[in-house]
Chain A
Amino acid sequence: MSKITDSEMKHLAGLSNLLLGGAELKNLKEDLTRILDYVEELNEVDTTGVEPTYQVFDLQTVWRDDDEIDYGVKRKQLLGLAENVKDNSVVVPKVL
């Protein structure tokens, strides 16, 4: 049985940048516990000396030449997606 403490849940919510209500946090704690219990199964597998697989292809060194690319998108379009723009910049409340 994995044990996630309430403070760990808060820490996780912080890392996740989710402002969760108390009830939601409680539900998620139950779900997470269940899921983590489930994945405990992996400990049955002996992985001594096994390399991890992060990518499932044999590709390597895929790079491009140092030339400008026109993605067909203008600054106006990008800034147009933002809710609050000033002086061609995206506005956020003051960062401390």
Chain B
Amino acid sequence: MMGKTWGKIAEMVAAVQKGEVSARANVEKALDLAERCKNYNIFVNLTRKRALQKAEEIDQKLQKGEKLGELAGVPYVLKDNFLDFGADTTASAKMLAGFVAPLQATAVKKLEAAGAICIGKSNLDAFAHGGSTENSFFGVTKNFKDTERVAGGSSGGSAVAVALGVAPFALGTDTGGSIRQPAAFNGVIGVKPTFGSVSRFGVVAMASSTDTIGCFATNAADARLVMKVLGGKDSLDSTTIDNDFTPRGKQKLHIGVIADFMTDDVDQEVLAVVRKYIQELEKNGNRVETVEMPLLKYALPVYYVVVPAEVASNLARYDGIRYGHRAKTARTLGEIYGLSRDEGFMPENKRRIMIGNFVLSSGFFDAYYLKAEKVRTLIVEEYQKAFAKFDVLVCPTTPSTAFKIGENTDNPVKMYLEDVMTVPPSLAGLPAISVPAGRTKSGLDVGAQLIGARGDDALLLDLAESVENKKLKDKNI
């Protein structure tokens, strides 16, 4: 672990704007750190050439006296399921190994326009299917604190990059917890915004109805700055909305602790750390109460019907014909499809494709898919009821801390159970962030999950920031 390597993003940008630190120096430093962290297997590819070129452009702009963007010269790490020009876009799958994107994701374009510089593309579970970054064609990413343990996933590489200080922020995608869970496992903040807040255009789709784009950072202010740049309606994604991430200035929030996720099913140490975090919230003047949300436990089975269905559909385009892996031995059209897909996908991809096609197939659609989407309605309503009373809900991000590599790979359901707390807000499209809540006795990081009503992303960041500030103040006294 390298400790604190970067200051706050706003300060970094100010330094670049004043010419105190060049964008090039920032990029070189990040690339150097990336090289030094090789044993964590954070990156699929570094984007050295384009990064240095972009840094050069920013430094020249400054010399010419041109105005720089709000993230000028800030290096960042990009999950390898975003299309971008710096390196291949692989989604950590053999299917897309060597895929050179001819256009960039809207999110990447926005960051680039604001002056942020991608220095590398991070590892993930292939096609973002998984919660440990063990399902990557490029090998497993290690936890920032214990290389025997998983980074979490699917955005494992991005989380570890920020935790190790390679870059001050990183981009991830979160479909059922893929930002929040690795954030929790690696002691950083992870933001999953309200569905539609950030354009999905140019991001390899997993499950269209719950896919979101968010970020990792070391503090709420940095995360807010990044989300502000990322957010907004995009004419290329019909499901986008304008979302305001600026502080709401609302004091003394009414916070509901989800009782159903504070039970014995959760690791006792995790519970203790999260309880402590909740006490902090209370000490800060917020009103804390317990809330029962008995339907949330059905979110996971709903998720493992709905998401595979959308996965099976979204992965149908990978057919070995127009791009991506084409099996060398394929002779007939049937073999091009069947072998290319068999070779190009990881076992977890295939598992989800098969489940998805099962629940959508004639005869099973009503019993599985339709049923699940109906229960989803009840879950959405359960949240609506809760948010009629509470401003923010809180629970652990995960039921346990980072597990050992290989510990959960033989039983998919056991692996899925890791998502039990992150999945419910995803199904309802709600904003949820994981904040570092503390550590267990053995030093493993624990995340607390803050959940808001649709569009209340800013409120969650406000709350996280207030706890951070209080801690800083306490430290300084």
**Chain A–chain B contact at Cβ < 8 A:** yes
**Residues A38 and B413 in contact, CB atoms below 8 Å apart:** yes
Please give me the residue from chain A that is nearest to B351 by CB atom.
Answer: A31
Stretch at the interface among B66-74, B156-164, B321-329, B469-477: B321-329
Contact of A19 with B338 at beta-carbon distance under 8 Å, contacts A12-B357, A28-B354, A57-B239 already known: yes
A55 adjacent to chain B (CB < 8 Å):
yes
B331 adjacent to chain A (CB < 8 Å):
yes
Contact of A93 with B239 at beta-carbon distance under 8 Å, contacts A39-B305, A45-B378, A53-B376 already known: no
B313 CB to closest chain A CB (Å) equals: 11
Q: Choose from B103, B320, B354 the contact partner of A12 (Cβ within 8 Å).
A: B354
B353 adjacent to chain A (CB < 8 Å):
yes
A72 adjacent to chain B (CB < 8 Å):
yes
Contact of A81 with B99 at beta-carbon distance under 8 Å, contacts A12-B358, A47-B375 already known: yes
**Residues A55 and B298 in contact, CB atoms below 8 Å apart:** no
Contact of A95 with B375 at beta-carbon distance under 8 Å, contacts A18-B341, A32-B351, A32-B358 already known: no
A50 CB to closest chain B CB (Å) equals: 4
**Residues A47 and B378 in contact, CB atoms below 8 Å apart:** yes
**Residue-wise interface mask of B (317-354) relative to A, using a CB-CB cutoff of 8 A (1 in contact, 0 not):** 00111110010000111111111011001010011011
B291 adjacent to chain A (CB < 8 Å):
no
Stretch at the interface among B21-29, B120-128, B140-148, B366-374: B366-374
Q: Which residues from chain B contact A83 at a C-beta distance below 8 Å?
A: 320, 326
A66 CB to closest chain B CB (Å) equals: 14
Q: Which residues from chain A contact B319 at a C-beta distance below 8 Å?
A: 17
Task: Tell me the bound Cα distance from A41 to B298 in angstroms.
Answer: 7
Please give me the residue from chain A that is nearest to B430 by CB atom.
Answer: A56
Task: Tell me the bound Cα distance from A50 to B295 in angstroms.
Answer: 14
Task: Tell me the bound Cα distance from A62 to B199 in angstroms.
Answer: 14
**Residues B375 and A17 in contact, CB atoms below 8 Å apart:** no
Task: Tell me the bound Cα distance from A54 to B103 in angstroms.
Answer: 29
Q: Which residues from chain B contact A43 at a C-beta distance below 8 Å?
A: 371
Task: Tell me the bound Cα distance from A56 to B99 in angstroms.
Answer: 32
**Residues B350 and A28 in contact, CB atoms below 8 Å apart:** yes
**Residues B321 and A16 in contact, CB atoms below 8 Å apart:** no
A52 adjacent to chain B (CB < 8 Å):
yes
B358 CB to closest chain A CB (Å) equals: 6
Task: Tell me the bound Cα distance from A86 to B462 in angstroms.
Answer: 57
**Residues A42 and B302 in contact, CB atoms below 8 Å apart:** yes
Task: Tell me the bound Cα distance from A1 to B42 in angstroms.
Answer: 40
Task: Tell me the bound Cα distance from A19 to B238 in angstroms.
Answer: 35
Q: Which residues from chain A contact B316 at a C-beta distance below 8 Å?
A: 17
Q: Which residues from chain A contact B322 at a C-beta distance below 8 Å?
A: 78, 81-82, 90
**Residues A42 and B372 in contact, CB atoms below 8 Å apart:** yes
CB-contacts of B197-237 with A (<8 A): 209-210, 235
**Residues A42 and B375 in contact, CB atoms below 8 Å apart:** yes
B427 adjacent to chain A (CB < 8 Å):
yes
Task: Tell me the bound Cα distance from A83 to B320 in angstroms.
Answer: 9
B295 CB to closest chain A CB (Å) equals: 7
Task: Tell me the bound Cα distance from A24 to B349 in angstroms.
Answer: 13
Contact of A16 with B380 at beta-carbon distance under 8 Å, contacts A55-B209, A81-B100 already known: no
Q: Which residues from chain B contact A47 at a C-beta distance below 8 Å?
A: 371, 374-375, 377-378
Q: Choose from B99, B378, B411 the contact partner of A50 (Cβ within 8 Å).
A: B378
**Residue-wise interface mask of A (25-50) relative to B, using a CB-CB cutoff of 8 A (1 in contact, 0 not):** 00110011011101111111101001
Task: Tell me the bound Cα distance from A81 to B196 in angstroms.
Answer: 30
Q: Which residues from chain A contact B103 at a C-beta distance below 8 Å?
A: 71-73
Please give me the residue from chain B that is nearest to A52 by CB atom.
Answer: B373
Contact of A92 with B357 at beta-carbon distance under 8 Å, contacts A17-B341, A47-B371, A52-B376 already known: no
**Residue-wise interface mask of B (285-300) relative to A, using a CB-CB cutoff of 8 A (1 in contact, 0 not):** 0000000000100100
Q: Which residues from chain A contact B350 at a C-beta distance below 8 Å?
A: 16, 18, 20, 24, 28
Q: Which residues from chain B contact A80 at a C-beta distance below 8 Å?
A: 102
Q: Which residues from chain A contact B312 at a C-beta distance below 8 Å?
A: 16
**Residues B429 and A57 in contact, CB atoms below 8 Å apart:** yes
Q: Which residues from chain B contact A51 at a C-beta distance below 8 Å?
A: 374, 377
Q: Could you list which residues of chain B lie within 8 angstroms of chain A, going by C-beta atoms?
A: 99-100, 102-103, 195-196, 209-210, 235, 238-239, 241, 295, 298, 301-302, 304-305, 312, 316, 319-323, 326, 331-339, 341-342, 345, 347, 350-351, 353-355, 357-358, 361, 368, 370-378, 380, 411-413, 416, 427-429
Given contacts A47-B375, A59-B196, could you give 8 more A-B pairs where the C-beta distance is less than 8 Å? A28-B351, A34-B411, A39-B305, A42-B298, A45-B375, A50-B378, A54-B209, A81-B100
What are 5 A-to-B residue pairs whose CB atoms are below 8 Å? Answer: A20-B350, A34-B411, A35-B304, A39-B372, A96-B333
